[in-house]
Chains A and B, each alone.
Chain A
Amino acid sequence: MKTILDETRELASSTCNRYLDEARKQGRSIIGYFCSYMPEEIIHAAGFVPYRMRVVESKGTTKADAYYSSINCTFVKQCFNKALNGDFAFLDGVVFVNGCDHSRRMYDNWRFSGIDPSFLHMFFAPHVIREVSYEYFARECEKLKLSIENHFKVSITDEALGKSIGLYNKKRRLLAKIYSLRKKKNVPIKASELLGVMLAVTAVPVEQAVEILTEVKNFIEGRVVSRPEDLRLFISGGCIEEIEHLELIENCGSVIVADNICLGTRHFLDEVRTEGDPLTAIADRYLSHLSCPRMMGDFNRRFDYLLAIKDECGIDGAIIEKLKFCDIWGGEIYLHRVEAKKKNIPLLALERELYGGGAGQIKTRVQAFLEKLKNRQAADEGLVQAAGSDYKPKL
């Protein structure tokens, strides 16, 4: 029988889905967006459906290569290639964010190529967290609101924003609950399954997402997917949307129990406060949430999150990933390496291409990492000391 996780996986494996078709039939516009710094509530309060842009079903980068170069990342090239192929024809607008150099140029290339939709908005997210940036970010939220209102001839009221905030907070709470279940010794949901859930709930109307998440929460209660011998991992990175990639890591003998990824904790951690001016509240939450390394001077907070979650979730090791040519995550890997060594956290840094193959290579590296972790555990348990320095644990 088809379970809710099968359904979310199905939703995750296609660009468009029946919920979006239904929403369109009801006259709701679909607005694509990039980045965890883009407040979905503003789009939703207009009566629209925010849709997180994705690369799934990509057929390559042939067309996008004419706009980009060989040193641009595979996420933006594949995503833009899909746009050029008309795969995002169901969108009524796209909101871009200056998340990184590659993605901010997509705003330019999209406009320049003249493809639909006509509503293309650049949403500026500051790179620093300080008083002036909160003010500026709140104004950017206001500009986005006005831009949607003017283009679509709709009105976004404070009341609607308040309702949207409530709904998205509900979604966040459900996600937080599901994620927190992974802290248990017996993990009820795999990270690969959860990624499918995340991809699904960012591609359907939030009302539907809440229903899906409620079902997922109920479904996984009492479920156990981890094996006692599995090593517990933390994963961090920018663009991770291939379910198969996480399955590969899990199948090597691990269970991923926590993360700091765009389609993960960064998406739901911290709620928008419900009192006061809604746009200010939205700006406050989105600027101060668990940060992406694009936020300058906030590394300590990101690393502290790992330290905090390490004990809470019983993490044995961490994997940090980046896509090729990503400066932002490249720098984060350097900092993680230095600090993880100091704090004695085993760390594996991976570089890869999105849907770029190389599974064998990644598997070898993950296997070697897990083997190292197991040896370390054996050593920690005193086996090596007891048996002498030439002891090789049989695992």
Chain B
Amino acid sequence: MKINPEPFEYLKWSANFLKLGYCLTALPRFAYWGMRLTRPFYVKGENFLNRKIRWSLLTLGGGVLPPEELKAYRYGMKTFIDNIENALKANTSGKPVVWVEWILSSEIVGAFDAMPFNPETLNLFGNMSGQDVPPMLIEEAENRGFATEYCSAIKLTAGAYMLEQSPQPAAIISGSHPCDTNVSAYQSIAHLTGAPVFYFDAPYWRDEDSFNYYEKSMWNLISFLEKNLHQKMNWDKLKQIVDNENKFNFYLHEICEMMRVAPSPATMITPLFAWVVRELAIGDPNGTEMARLMYEVVRDRYKKGIGVAKKENIRVLWWNPPIAFFTYVFKWMEDEFGAVVVKDFIGDVQAPQVDTSSEKTMIHDLARNHLFLAMARQCHGPVEFITQELEKSIEEYSPDCLIFAGHAGCKHGWGAIGIIKDLLKKRGLPSLFMNMDIMDQRHATEDDIKRWITEFFRSNGFV
């Protein structure tokens, strides 16, 4: 492992490898068989030879994801490539880079002549350069005094910036949700980067007062960007972005709805892949095209009554965010046990549609939309925002069990653990609680997770 990587080394590698993936998936069947036949080379574990391609191939389904879905993923890859390359070029081309922190959304920035960049990008794409890269970035931030108790997502963001792996921001947009790490860490990041920061304050409740409060903050954000980027917002561009977003959300919402049927026509990795696209480049036409293709594949299976797994043995609810360093876990469970994750915390889309008829309606609805994004909707208020969604999921998705990915940095999630456990006990749902960190393998490795899940399925008689 390199201690001092070249500037932007990991982003550049990500963009280059994604380009290769983009070219190969132009022939999805070829890509599928290529990945399938070479599985012995990369599936079992990371080694010197496969470290720079393993995670990517596994995330692309590792030869388990069918060609028709690969075709959709291809458009997602295009959005990633464009986003990363534009961010890398932005500083030289004079276009300001605006960091939009991972739990927010970048429509407003997209409506400026600026480059939205998700500073948490390397939490996921860092793995493309090897499993040891994210922990190395996290350690860098810790070594330089960042609070060790922070959620690793933001520690990694700081570490990446410290090691010149992220572009210099002209401005930063951050928020008070989903957790204290966000509240605190972006104050430190502001200090580190010297960039002006706009802080969104998520209200606690979901009443009109609260939505209006958030909406007013959104208008404040526009003023903040206009002032700091020395530009006026392009409302036509915003309308275009939001139109695309509406379509994107519609397709994803439909996919999630279809996953209620047994056998499930999709596994959660599909909406999750789309979530990453949303995080990086919502409103990008390629992202919307990806969502449309995903929707068509899933709808086709739904209509034919075909499940994504050859034989659906176990329906799983996945609670808390997915594991960044082991995105393959969904396909692995499907392949190994016929276990299909039918609903999760992040991929499920519940964001309301945005009325694009006027500037006012767009901002009004975007504020509401943002508070229903993944993690925002569950984490900004009372525990009922979690438990009601959990209960609804149990009723609507007929799960056989629940896997709780207990992320180390998530203090409020762990602070409600007694309530969640009690709810699951009352519902009689077998549950696995994993103590881990979704970004940092120093807590629990891929093998630990596989072992826990295997033992859980066995001890509950699912396999």
Contact = CB atoms under 8 A, between A and B. Distances in A.
Interface string A104-121: 111111001000000000
A296 B201 contact: yes
A132 B147 CA distance: 30
A108 B184 contact: no
Given A105-B383, A136-B209, A328 B184 contact: yes
B417 interface: yes
A308 interface: no
Interface stretch (B36-44, B73-81, B185-193, B340-348): B185-193
Nearest to B202: A127
A374 interface: no
Contacts of B417: 67-69
A334 interface: yes
Interface in B75-113: none
Given A127-B199, A337-B145, A67 B418 contact: yes
Interface string A334-377: 11011000000000000000000000000000000000000000
A66 B417 CA distance: 8
B415 A101 contact: yes
B147 A327 contact: yes
B203 A330 contact: no
A139 B209 contact: yes
A100 B180 contact: yes
Contacts of B378: none
Interface string B205-236: 10001000100110010000000000000000
A108 B416 contact: yes
A2 interface: no
Interface residues of B, number: 44
B408 A334 contact: no
A164 B235 CA distance: 49
Nearest to B215: A132
Nearest to B199: A296
A102 interface: yes
A393 interface: no
Majority SS at the chain A contact face: helix
Given A109-B418, A331-B150, A124 B203 contact: yes
A205 to B, nearest CB: 30
Contacts of A101: 179-180, 411-412, 415
Contact of B147 (A69, A100, A133, A334): A334
Contact of B204 (A72, A76, A109, A124): A124
Contacts of A293: 184, 187
Contacts of A100: 180, 411
A330 B184 contact: yes
A332 interface: yes
Contacts of B306: none
B187 A331 contact: yes
Contacts of A90: none
A80 B173 CA distance: 35
A331 B203 contact: no
Contacts of B188: 331, 334-335
A330 B148 CA distance: 8
B147 A136 contact: no
Interface string B166-188: 00000000101001110111111
Nearest to B212: A136
Nearest to A137: B213
Given A101-B179, A124-B205, A335 B187 contact: yes
Nearest to A293: B184
B391 to A, nearest CB: 14
Contacts of A132: 213, 216-217, 220
Nearest to B383: A108
A107 B383 CA distance: 9
Nearest to B158: A334
Contact of B145 (A122, A294, A334): A334
B145 A296 contact: no
Contacts of A124: 203-205
B419 interface: yes
Contacts of B416: 105, 108-109
Contacts of B13: none
A98 B379 CA distance: 12
B34 interface: no
A327 B414 contact: no
A333 interface: yes
A88 to B, nearest CB: 19
Nearest to B185: A331
Contacts of B209: 136, 139
B425 to A, nearest CB: 12
B382 interface: yes
A139 B207 CA distance: 12
B299 to A, nearest CB: 39
A122 B385 CA distance: 15
Contacts of B147: 327, 330-331, 333-334
Contact of A297 (B151, B179, B190, B414): B190
Nearest to B417: A69
B8 interface: no
A72 B148 CA distance: 14
B412 A338 contact: no
A141 to B, nearest CB: 13
Nearest to B150: A327
A324 interface: yes
Nearest to A336: B145
A126 B213 CA distance: 10
Contacts of A122: 204, 382
A293 B203 CA distance: 18
Contact of A107 (B150, B197, B382): B382
Contact of B419 (A71, A112, A326, A330): A112
A328 B187 CA distance: 10
Nearest to B382: A108
A260 to B, nearest CB: 15
A127 B176 contact: yes
Given A107-B382, A124-B205, A71 B408 contact: yes
A331 B209 CA distance: 30
Contacts of B412: 101-102, 104-105
Contacts of B180: 100-101, 294, 326-328
Given A296-B174, A327-B409, 12 more contacts: A72-B411, A101-B179, A108-B419, A127-B199, A130-B220, A132-B217, A297-B190, A327-B183, A327-B184, A328-B183, A331-B188, A334-B147
Q: Which 6 A-B pairs have the closest CB atoms?
A: A330-B147, A331-B184, A105-B415, A67-B418, A101-B412, A69-B414
13 contacts: A67-B419, A68-B414, A68-B417, A69-B415, A72-B411, A108-B383, A124-B205, A133-B201, A326-B149, A327-B149, A327-B150, A330-B147, A338-B145
Interface of B: 145-151, 174, 176, 179-181, 183-188, 190-191, 197, 199, 201, 203-205, 209, 213, 216-217, 220, 382-383, 408-409, 411-412, 414-419, 422
